Structure 1
Amino acid sequence: MTTSGMTTPGATRYVALLRGVNVGGVTIKSADLAELFRSLGFANVKTVLASGNVVFDADSDPADAGATAALKARIEQALAERFGYDAWIVLETLERVHQVIDGFPFDAQREGWHPYVLFSSSAGSLTELLEAAPGLDPADESVVAGDGVLYWHCRRAVGIDSPFSKLAARTRFRSTTTNRNLRTLQKLA
């Protein structure tokens, strides 16, 4: 196992983005989360912030959709068993996270605005969410499609009360989507 942040030889560096951790009564300590991932046999495990972000190495081919789905399901099952909640994650390679960061189309440094990326394990969820975007007030928030993500820029003053935030928080999207601030993604990278 390496600890330098470099990928273990022959392994793929992944990022697990957990949905709903340390909010709504689901509390998981970072040390416990890291220990769970290590117990699953993953190497070079690192948690980032206390909002359900885990970077790790796994011997899995990201080009094999079946293997990726099995890896995701294995992690979700282990989280549910260990921490007793309905666990949902979005699983990405670290390389993909770098691409998503590089593709951010808004001014991430704009004063008074939050830069977000919405990830999903279901393209249909992203399509449905994007279809609501033309009705948004661009003075408060904007949403554009990226490659398998939605980029969302929102005025801080509007925040979680924005129409898009309320839409994305609906129950039907909980099992497939999660969002991250661009700065969190940069820390993951």
Structure 2
Amino acid sequence: MTSFAVFLRGVNVGGVTIKSADLRALFETLPVTDVKTLLASGNVTCSSDLKLQELKALSEQSLRSRFGYEAWVVVLEADTLEQIVDGCPFPADDPSTHSYVTLFSDPAVLRELLRFASSIDEAVYPLGTVAAAWQSPKGKTLDSPLNAFTNKARFKNGTTTRNLRTLQKVLAATRS
């Protein structure tokens, strides 16, 4: 049995609203155990004998069917999430800056983000092949070129961004 973190893209923004209790109830119908939802922003932890890609496909299909929206998720094994959190070079709490981690289902998109960041002289740190850490001044995230890049429609099926504090909480939930 493997512990997983499932990160939904675009939940509780842009008119797509899913209550945590409804999200948890949906996942409890899947071949998973120990389902927890966190922070009302599309974060689920669970355990399963499914392979990562099987859980991704089943999660997306179930979300689409139940909630009627174009659902996309990034799924990570808990051990991978731990490596990402531990490897992030930024502090989780800073009075002037937000620390973000963009998660990727496709390593090619991560490489594309790194090329883009280099072209605009933005600091982005790869965390393995499935994540990249970056920062934005508080109050400026929506104006960030990195945020705009990762929100392009062509990336919606394989990226999502969380702040580092959220990832720390999700990781803790996979361990409890």
TM-score by length of 2: 0.91
**C-alpha contact 1:119 1:178 (8 A) present in aligned 2:** yes
Amino acid at match of 1:116: Y
When the two chains are superposed, the root-mean-square deviation of aligned CA atoms in Å is 1.3
Give the Cα–Cα distance (whole angstroms) in 2 for the partners of residues 120 and 164 of structure 1.
14
Partner of residue 2, structure 2: 12
Unpaired runs of 5+ residues, structure 1, are: 1-10, 61-66
TM-score by length of 1: 0.85
* Mapped pair 1:91 → 2:75: yes
Partner of residue 114, structure 2: 130
Give the Cα–Cα distance (whole angstroms) in 1 for the partners of residues 155 and 127 of structure 2.
18
Offset of residue 110 of structure 1: 3.0
Partner of residue 23, structure 1: 13
Offset of residue 31 of structure 1: 0.3
**C-alpha contact 1:136 1:164 (8 A) present in aligned 2:** no
Offset of residue 137 of structure 1: 5.5
1:99-138: per-residue Cα shift (whole Å, max 9, x none)? 1100001233332100111101011111111111124455
Offset of residue 185 of structure 1: 0.7
Partner of residue 156, structure 1: 138
**C-alpha contact 2:104 2:110 (8 A) present in aligned 1:** yes
Q: Who wins on radius of gyration, i.e. which is larger?
A: 1
Partner of residue 64, structure 1: none
Q: How many percent of aligned residue pairs carry the same amino acid?
A: 45
**C-alpha contact 2:56 2:75 (8 A) present in aligned 1:** yes
Partner of residue 23, structure 2: 33
Aligned length in residues? 170
